[in-house]
Structure 1
Amino acid sequence: MKISNETKIGALTAIAITLLVLGFNFLKGKTFFGKSHSLFAKYTNVQGLANSNPVMINGLQVGTVYSITTDKNMKEILVNMTLNKDVNIPVNSFASIKNNPLGTTSIEIKLGDAQQYLPKNDTIRTETSAGILDGAIQELRPVLGQVKNAVKSLDSVLMTLAGVLDPNSKHNIRGILENLNKTTAGLTVSSASLQSLLNTQTGALAKSLNNVSSFTGNLANNNEKLTAVMTNLDKTTTNLSKLDLEKTLNTLNATVGDLKTSLGKLNTKDGTAGMLLNDAKLYNNLAATANKLNVLLDDFKTNPKRYISFSVFGKKAKGEALVVPLPDTVNAPYLKVLQK
């Protein structure tokens, strides 16, 4: 039987169309010889998701996007996924769209922990995932706020600094810098002096340490003498501690009491000593006696012949005796007592 060319062309055309459909479905993720099933998800924004984009679970591709459909209102977009692997997906799992600017947008299924699994051709729950740029903006938003506050603070500081740097303030700052230069010059001189002081050969500190070392060496050499001195001092303190200081203090207190009693008696008119110190009669008698003796001496000086005669044939001088002192003794202290 001879097959006509038209029949051959028709058969080849049918085979080509069949292969084209099968290849197209294969590229879309639809398999005809393996185990596969559909899974649906609803989104409001697919973020550039397209047919044949991969479906991933824990980094492993388990299927592809078969179709994306929506209504005229564009409020809800239905994504049909073809899963080529037989996997158990818990009912509390989520499907989120993972946008990759450098690669292909994919669907990431985050498995839940439920013990029940989604049946085939069921709808999985979805969650909105922010893109990389949106995530970066969310991360940078607090930083941008801090930068904004820092810029405001810097602007306030610059305004304050502009107000401070008037001509008078500039002159004051110039003076401060000059004083700072003088201070640094003084610090340089001080550091040189300090270095000279701390010189290990000629510095004053090194000499002082040498003197201290010599002193401690002398102490070490005279250690036996110091020990003997401390021993003698210990013996002396021991002997002092053995003295009956309490008995001595009691005797001293008794002596002081007797002395106070004697002084008390002297302050009164009891006894001879008290009479001599406190009775005015003795003083008056002594003053009168001195006055009389003074009058007698004045009379003897005025009329010596009344008391001594140097002539064998002379007569004894006659005249009245003095009863008052001479003018040179008128202001004598005892006259004031007699007048009283």
Structure 2
Amino acid sequence: MKLSKEFKIGIVTIVTLIGFFMLFNFLKGQNIFSSGRLFIVKFENVKGLAPSKPVSINGLRVGQVKEIKIVDDAKPIYFDVVLSIDKDIQFSKKTIAEIYEPGIMSGPEVRLLLDYGPDIAKSGDYLEGRVAGGMMDGLTKQLSPTQTKLDSVLVSFNHTLQGVNNILDKDAQQDVKAMLKNLNNTVASFDKTAQSLTATSNSANNLIASNQKTLSATLTSAKSTVEKFGQTADKLNELQLDQVIKNFENVSKNLNGLLEDVNNGKGSLGKLAKDDGIANELEATIKNMNSLVEDLKKNPSRYVNISVFGKKQPIQP
């Protein structure tokens, strides 16, 4: 059987449309071959949630948002969000579907907070829904106390300024202005002084730079003079030390000679040290002298005649 040209074109067109439809749904994140379970969640605010957004359990993607229906005949209106769950995970009807923001750049997604009660949820059942605070909401909550404190500080500062304005009359305000003007003049004077010091420093630097060779030569000469003086002082110290050592050696030699003569019996000290007779006679003489001194103390009239009124006293025997 021969197919006509028109029939072939029709088949190609149908296949192309089917492929385009499948590709379009695939790009949207929908799986047209999925036979997953469908659950409905009621939300009063979807926070920007869109179809084909992932549905996760503990961070693992298990499905997607299949459809969002608006129920506008109710007051207030609400939304029925249809969730398609691909994974065969059992959970109860008390499981909560929560809209949250996983990151700043990514849009809102849905995560299931599972409940493992006895009442198992089936396809077509309603689940409880809630909206978690986003990252910006958390940041706003954290900044709210700081903003409150900042507002109170600004109010206090405003009251303080009002009190200062009330305290300062016109004359006081003029005095404050004059004081600020004088302060500005003082700062300007300090600025001029700093500029003058900078100029002086620059002049000194230029003078040092221009006379650097002369200063270097002078310092080198002074250094060499100091080194020569140090060497001369060292030589003088060495000479004086040598002389002292020589004198000490001479004294030591003389003392050794004197001791040697005494040991050999030379000289008066040597004879006195070696001759026992002289030593005995000297000892006897010392004893006699001691006896004479004692007798002189006891009987001075024996040795001294004292004249009283021109008469001599008889010498006692």
> What TM-score bracket applies, with the shorter chain setting the length?
0.3 to 0.5
More strand by share: 2
Max Rg structure? 1
> Normalization by structure 1: what TM-score?
0.44
